[in-house]
Structure 1
Amino acid sequence: MHKNAAEQLRRTGDGGVDGVVNEDRLGLDRIYVQAKRYGLGSSVGRPDVQAFVGSLVGLGATKGVFVTTSSFSSQARDFVRHLAQRVILIDGNTLASLMIEHGVGVRISRTVEVKRLDEVFFSEES
């Protein structure tokens, strides 16, 4: 990732855009981001996703990522399937998996060492 590739736009904003990621150094291709931190049992519904898409349209954007710590309703997931804009929904489980995969916001608490037999060590030399 290059310097200044991402920018936080504001702290809160219903239906707005929370951040932008420049895919290239010139900022020609941008991905807009909306983030919602919801508790367990709550889900992001279609109205929230529609408001985000409305913001994308207003910005002339073609790509967006909506991230939540909870989940998305089935209506929200269905809605993004038929859009002209490319909108990716990342729920809490997917977010946690991505954080682990890329080592972001996580620490190693224990390393497990697995040993296997070294067959070369026991082979007979001719």
Structure 2
Amino acid sequence: MLDHTGIVVTDLARARRFYDAIAAALGLQTIDNGDEAFLFGKSAAEPIPYLWIGTTRPSYWVDGSRPGINQMHIAFQARDQAMVDAFYQAALANGGTDNGAPGPRQGAGAYYGAFVLDPDGNNIEACARGQAAQ
């Protein structure tokens, strides 16, 4: 199970607008985490799992690493198709780029998802599975 993951971005304010918008669409929250980062997750009361988003260069990066060089993929659970659709619209309206419009995905069973690229090119998805995908 996921505890946390993180991505480095080039413009924290631009990233915050994007992630605030998709958090609202998915029923999640962004939480302040200092001047150079914020967290994306369920809530301050239920902080784990979370996605760390910041401008600080991680100590584990190898030489040559920079934001967007190793595209990250993160998929968030959605309650239903309407939530996936809301995520997609919020992302596009706040600096995201289409990377796969909402709809069923072949070979994934009962699955409805949407893909966007965040402002730094990371592949961000929202998906509903099973009965929620119907």
Using the size of structure 1 for normalisation, the TM-score is 0.29
Higher relative contact order (CA 8 A, sep 6+): 2
Larger radius of gyration: 1
More helix, by proportion: 1
More strand, by proportion: 2
